[in-house]
């Protein structure tokens, strides 16, 4: 794989500047491997993330909780969820005590779609993960946590 300098045909102010841009560039590279598979199921990366969050909750979550757990904390999470509701992948329920609170949960159809999508994504994820050792992954995780720290 070419270096970031070769890939972007650019020079960087220093190694820290290069590292930050490398993280952004690599994140987009990872997304590029997932997006075509998701598009084949009429899902965006953000909608896929919402489905995974709701499956992991094993019940309902408020839309506020969904937004907090999103990888890409988009302000349009409600609109994205509305599209999933239209596709009958997610259901919505208003709170009886506070009508401003809306709960979402994944439907059986949503669970089935998620299972199908993840079967297709597995080979892509396996190829991506094979490029890094567990030790290097731990180091990278520590560094990235430190950046956000």
pLDDT score for 58: 87
d(CA 142, CA 125): 21
CATH number at residue 98: 1.10.10.10
Q: Write out the E strands in 3-145.
A: 61-62, 90-94, 102-106
Number of domains in the chain: 1
Assigned domain for 74 exists:
yes
Assigned domain for 149 exists:
no
Q: In terms of Cα–Cα distance, which of 65, 104, 69 is closest to 83?
A: 104
Under 8 Å between Cβ of 80 and 47: yes
d(CA 76, CA 40): 22
Assigned domain for 147 exists:
no
Assigned domain for 132 exists:
no
- In order along its 149 residues, the chain shows pLDDT tens digits of 677 777 777 888 898 988 998 899 999 998 999 999 999 999 999 999 999 999 999 889 999 999 999 988 777 888 999 999 999 999 999 878 887 889 999 999 999 999 999 999 999 999 999 999 999 999 999 999 998 88
pTM: 0.87
pLDDT score for 1: 67
Name the β-bridge partners of 93.
103
Assigned domain for 35 exists:
yes
Assigned domain for 4 exists:
no
* Structural domain of 30: 9-125
Assigned domain for 117 exists:
yes
Calculate the alpha carbon distances from 140 to 1, 16, 46, 121, 146 in Å: 19, 14, 24, 23, 10
Which residues lie closer than 8 Å to 89 by C-beta, 6 or more apart? Answer: 51, 106, 107, 109, 110, 113
pLDDT score for 120: 97
Under 8 Å between Cβ of 4 and 22: yes
Under 8 Å between Cβ of 21 and 4: yes
Assigned domain for 3 exists:
no
């Amino acid at each position: 794989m070419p270096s970031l300098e070769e890939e972007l045909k650019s020079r960087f102010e220093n190694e820290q500047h290069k590292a930050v841009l490398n993280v952004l560039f690599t994140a987009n590279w990872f997304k590029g491997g997932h997006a075509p598979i998701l598009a084949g199921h009429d899902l965006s990366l953000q909608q896929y993330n919402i489905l995974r969050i709701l499956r992991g909750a094993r019940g309902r979550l408020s839309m506020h909780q969904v937004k907090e757990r999103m990888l890409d904390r988009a302000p349009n999470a409600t609109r994205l969820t509305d599209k999933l509701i239209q596709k009958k992948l997610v259901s919505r329920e208003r709170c009886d005590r506070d009508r401003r609170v809306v709960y979402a949960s994944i439907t059986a159809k949503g669970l089935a779609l998620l299972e199908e999508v993840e079967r297709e994504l597995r080979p892509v994820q396996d190829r991506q993960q094979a490029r890094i050792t567990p030790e290097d992954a731990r180091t990278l995780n520590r560094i990235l946590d430190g950046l956000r720290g």
